[in-house]
Amino acid sequence: MATNTTKSIGSKKVTDKELSEQIAKLGAEFAKEKKRKVTIPKALEKNIGQTLEVGINGVFLVIPVGQQVEIPETFADHVQDVINNITT
């Protein structure tokens, strides 16, 4: 059985420019996604504050609590997971 080491995995470094380009590309992909309306219940404000920041692979959304917003489905699924984890 082979063991991975830092040397065997490789050490390609990603530059800040490459990282920014990857994040911009992901943002564009999320923008093309089907949108879904979500509302973070006002009752959760005491637990999370006035906004909920959610991020996926470096792309972040700041969602106000108690307001209905339309966001890409991937983020909506993530928000629902967060709400479920807080309330259960």
Per-residue pLDDT of the chain (88 residues; tens, 9 = 90+): 556 566 656 667 878 898 889 889 988 998 899 999 999 999 999 989 999 999 998 889 999 999 999 999 999 999 999 999 988 8
pLDDT of residue 14: 79
Helix (H) or strand (E) holding 56: strand 51-56
Q: Token pair of 55, please?
A: 């991020």
- C-alpha 35/C-alpha 23 separation (Å) is 19
Q: What is the pTM of this model?
A: 0.74
